[in-house]
């Protein structure tokens, strides 16, 4: 691997300040989704390794939580600086294991660093309250304290940002963590942890356990069921989120769940069409459509349906599909053969049920896991693509006639993560923004993630918020202190 700092490529787990193999010495392979070559191997950790990591975290908690917010902030700031100093190496590691174009990997590392930046500041602002008492002689205040050891379970689609978005607020709040990255993208995670270690974050405060996807429940169950873990923060599929919620119920853990989405993207008749096409392109094709806030149903008013669809198809057909390391690549591979098959199935099912392909609709000859950017029209609600997350570069376009109808269609899903719409009518903008049952709404904006705003969903898209001032609250408990006998 052509890294400036070769010591950032680490094929071990991290417990109590040490890079280790699994106790069993078992390993699993991590493959490059672009060409199916092996990137490296990782320890296949078991319950035993997980317990060791949890114990190390627990041991470190007392000292870590007793630091001042400012002291913790200094560590997080150092970590932040090291992430940015090593952006090229981190991006290359990410592209090799995830497949995304190198420029997208760099953009993700930058995005990941926004959270270390933000929470280095927020570490100093975990304010409590003074509450006026209703009884003479009493005083009431609240203080905020760290939750305790947090299990951090992250997906492969944003291998860096999903870690910093959770770990930075956890550390800021005073919580130690045990990270379990996705089996397909552990090396971005180990590099980030190495940088945290270089930033001087004390032993035990950050631990990392890796496990193959086939054995993931061994580690997952321990994180969910161990009494010493007080919180699980998870980003991933709704199905796995439900499993984790049921397993954490036995020990009544706090949970943050960032789950699946099925975003509507509505283009009203009064929209700025150029902007709507630009927004749809940026939204739909980032990370080859493997994004939980990616548009899954594009609703376009009947008066502009053909024009919008043709313009989107033309732009989509111009995207460069190639190995993420190739200059100018814009669309990388899908993460696994199964992910590719799902996209293929969704498109085939739609076409069988009457959808038209304006562009794409097949695999790209860049490799077996590459799918061409695809635009489908004549979509209806009998098709799988209408309700299920496709997680691929496919833009299904649906015709609508009026505002009420499209709001009803847009909300007709179990998901509630992000929604988008384009309009220039101020009254309509307020009405639609309020009516959409989503945790986040982009108004004339196709890309809305930022560290300063609360990211999260409602319905089966999750519980809790990440980023913003809300993000650190997920790792804090509120304690109420009642002082009596103040006046004699």
Q: Is 292 a catalytic residue?
A: yes
CB of 279 to ligand ADP, least distance (A): 24
- Residue 188 or 309: which CB sits closer to ligand ADP? 188
Query: Which residues lie below 8 Å from residue 364, measured CB to CB, with a gap of 6+?
Result: 321, 331, 370, 371, 372
> Which residues face 150 on adjacent strands?
177, 231
Q: Which of 52, 118, 32, 51 is nearest to 80 (CA)?
A: 118
Q: Which residues bind ligand ADP (CB under 6 A)?
A: 153-155, 180, 182-183, 213, 216-217, 220, 236-237, 240, 243
List 122, 258, 403, 473, catalytic entry: 258
Contact by Cβ (8 Å): 249, 294: no
CB of 68 to ligand ADP, least distance (A): 33
Query: Which residues lie below 8 Å from residue 201, measured CB to CB, with a gap of 6+?
Result: 75, 79, 171
CB of 488 to ligand ADP, least distance (A): 56
Which DSSP state fits 124?
Answer: T
- Residue 21 or 388: which CB sits closer to ligand ADP? 388
Q: 58-82 in b/e burial notation, b at 16+ Cβ within 10 A?
A: bbbbeebbeeebeebbebbbbbbbb
What whole-number distance in Å separates Cα of residue 101 and Cα of residue 119? 28
- Residue 183 or 204: which CB sits closer to ligand ADP? 183
Residue nearest to ligand ADP (CB): 220
What whole-number distance in Å separates Cα of residue 263 and Cα of residue 299? 11
Contact by Cβ (8 Å): 231, 252: no
What whole-number distance in Å separates Cα of residue 162 and Cα of residue 169? 12
CB of 308 to ligand ADP, least distance (A): 29
CB of 340 to ligand ADP, least distance (A): 13
- Residue 67 or 245: which CB sits closer to ligand ADP? 245
CB of 185 to ligand ADP, least distance (A): 9
CB of 339 to ligand ADP, least distance (A): 8
List 45, 175, 224, 292, catalytic entry: 292
Q: Which pair of structure tokens corresponds to residue 469?
A: 């001032």
Q: Give the CA count within 13 Å in the CB-facing half-sphere of 348.
A: 8
Contact by Cβ (8 Å): 220, 249: no
Helix, strand, coil percentages in the chain from 3-state DSSP, rounded to 5: 40, 20, 35
- Residue 174 or 333: which CB sits closer to ligand ADP? 333
Q: Which pair of structure tokens corresponds to residue 219?
A: 């580690």
- Residue 154 or 197: which CB sits closer to ligand ADP? 154
CB of 199 to ligand ADP, least distance (A): 24
- Residue 275 or 344: which CB sits closer to ligand ADP? 344
Roughly what angle, to the nearest 10 degrees, separates helices 102-122 and 69-85? 170
Q: Computed over its alpha carbons, how large is the radius of gyration of the chain?
A: 23
- Residue 199 or 295: which CB sits closer to ligand ADP? 295
Contact by Cβ (8 Å): 475, 169: yes
CB of 349 to ligand ADP, least distance (A): 19
- Residue 47 or 356: which CB sits closer to ligand ADP? 47
Distance of CA 235 to the CA centre of its chain: 5
Which DSSP state fits 288?
Answer: G
What whole-number distance in Å separates Cα of residue 385 and Cα of residue 156? 22
What whole-number distance in Å separates Cα of residue 129 and Cα of residue 207? 33
Q: How many residues does the chain have?
A: 488
Q: Is 258 a catalytic residue?
A: yes
Q: Which of 186, 201, 177 is nearest to 120 (CA)?
A: 201
Three-state secondary structure call for residue 12: coil
- Give catalytic residues, as residue numbers: 258, 292
């Amino acid at each position: 691997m052509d890294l400036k700092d070769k010591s950032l490529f680490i094929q071990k787990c991290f417990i109590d300040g040490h890079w280790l193999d699994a106790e069993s010495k078992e390993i699993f392979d991590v493959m490059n989704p672009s060409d199916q070559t092996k990137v490296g191997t990782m320890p296949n950790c078991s319950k035993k390794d997980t317990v060791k990591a949890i114990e190390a975290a627990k041991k470190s908690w007392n000292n870590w939580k007793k630091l001042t917010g400012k002291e913790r902030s200094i560590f997080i700031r150092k970590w932040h600086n090291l992430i940015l100093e090593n952006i090229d190496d981190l991006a290359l590691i990410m592209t090799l294991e995830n497949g995304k174009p190198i420029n997208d990997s760099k953009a993700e590392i930058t995005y990941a660093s926004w959270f270390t930046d933000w929470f280095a500041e927020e570490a100093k602002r975990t304010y409590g309250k003074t509450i006026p008492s209703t009884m003479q002689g009493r005083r009431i205040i609240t203080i905020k304290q760290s939750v305790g050891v947090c299990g951090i379970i992250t997906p492969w689609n944003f291998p860096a940002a999903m870690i910093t978005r959770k770990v930075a607020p956890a550390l800021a709040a005073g919580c130690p963590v045990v990270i379990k990255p996705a089996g397909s993208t552990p090396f971005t995670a180990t590099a980030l942890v190495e940088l945290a270690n270089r930033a001087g974050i004390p032993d035990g405060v950050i631990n990392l356990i890796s496990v193959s996807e086939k054995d993931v429940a061994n580690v997952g169950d321990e994180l969910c069921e161990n009494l010493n873990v007080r919180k699980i923060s998870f980003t991933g599929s709704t199905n796995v989120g439900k499993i984790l919620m049921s397993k954490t119920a036995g020990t009544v853990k706090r949970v943050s769940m960032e789950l699946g989405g099925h975003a509507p993207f509505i283009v009203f008749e009064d929209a700025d069409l150029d902007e709507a096409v630009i927004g749809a392109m940026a939204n739909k094709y980032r990370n080859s459509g493997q994004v939980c806030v990616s548009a899954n149903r594009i609703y376009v008013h009947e008066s502009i349906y053909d024009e919008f669809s043709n313009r989107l198809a033309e732009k989509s057909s111009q995207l460069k599909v190639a190995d993420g390391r190739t200059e100018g690549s814009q669309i990388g591979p899908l993460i696994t053969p199964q992910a590719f098959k799902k996209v293929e199935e969704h498109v085939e099912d739609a076409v069988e049920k009457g959808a038209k392909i304006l562009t794409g609709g097949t695999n790209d000859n860049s490799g077996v896991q590459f799918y061409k950017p695809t635009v489908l029209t004549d979509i209806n609600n009998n098709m799988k693509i209408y309700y299920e997350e496709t997680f691929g570069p496919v833009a299904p376009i649906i015709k609508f006639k009026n505002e009420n109808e499209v709001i009803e269609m847009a909300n007709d899903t179990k998901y509630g993560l992000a929604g988008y719409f384009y309009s220039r009518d101020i009254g309509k903008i307020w009405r639609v923004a309020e009516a959409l049952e989503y945790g986040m709404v982009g108004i004339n904006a196709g890309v809305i993630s930022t560290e300063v705003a609360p990211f999260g969903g409602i319905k089966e898209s999750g519980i809790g918020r990440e980023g913003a001032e809300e993000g650190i609250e997920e790792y804090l408990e509120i304690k109420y202190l009642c002082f009596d006998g103040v006046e004699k």
